[in-house]
Structure 1
Amino acid sequence: MHGFGVALRIQQMSKDMLQVEQGSLYPALYRLEDQGWIESEWGVSENNRKAKFYSLTTAGRKQLQTEEKSWANLSTAINLVLGNT
């Protein structure tokens, strides 16, 4: 998926509650690539333009699972503090 597609997917999955600006997206993608969690390659987009396509690496998938568990624990703790069950 290319960078613009990543931003659109986040917006769609969050039902328009989250919108990622290009000024935030691309630095984040570069950091993820530097960490080895995603990889990129140049290709051609649906509208026939040159674009960089990103994919999750095995290490990235493992990190995602770790982050999901961490987020679930934090969410549970916050709900307990707020008295939500």
Structure 2
Amino acid sequence: MATSTDLLQGTLDLLILKTLDLEPMHGWGIALRIQQVSKEALQIGQGSLYPALHRLEYKGLIKAEWGASDNNRKAKYYSLTRTGKKQLDAELENWDRIAGAIALVLKGA
């Protein structure tokens, strides 16, 4: 099972952006979504998640607003900005290119 420290540098940012492309979420929801979609293979700890969220917010790729969570507690909800959507599209294209190149090497082509 991979942990956040096993992820390639920059991959966590991509996972967060892709997760927020679906809908605004609070930090815990983002971590749970990544864990669920990866079938428990990726578990993002708070020590990695929140610095990444702050970094993405600082870069203007996501924005945060306070709201009430499912259990009626105050939570910060993150959403993708227009700039973040453009960044996500560029990173997905780059990911596909790199993954294809790695696959070629692994197949011995």
Pairing of 1:1-85 with structure 2 (within 5 A): 1-83=25-107
TM-score, L = length of structure 2: 0.75
Please list every run of at least 4 consecutive aligned residues from structure 1 whose deviation after the TM superposition is greater than 4 angstroms: none
What SS is found at the alignment partner of 2:83?
A: helix
Shift of 1:70: 0.7
Larger of the two Rg values belongs to structure: 1
Q: Which residue of 1 aligns with 2:15?
A: none
Unaligned runs of 5+ in 1: none
The CA RMSD over aligned residues, in Å, is: 1.2
Unaligned runs of 5+ in 2: 1-24
Shift of 1:83: 1.5
Matched-pair identity in %:
61
What SS is found at the alignment partner of 1:40?
A: strand
Instruction: Give the number of equivalent residue pairs.
Output: 85
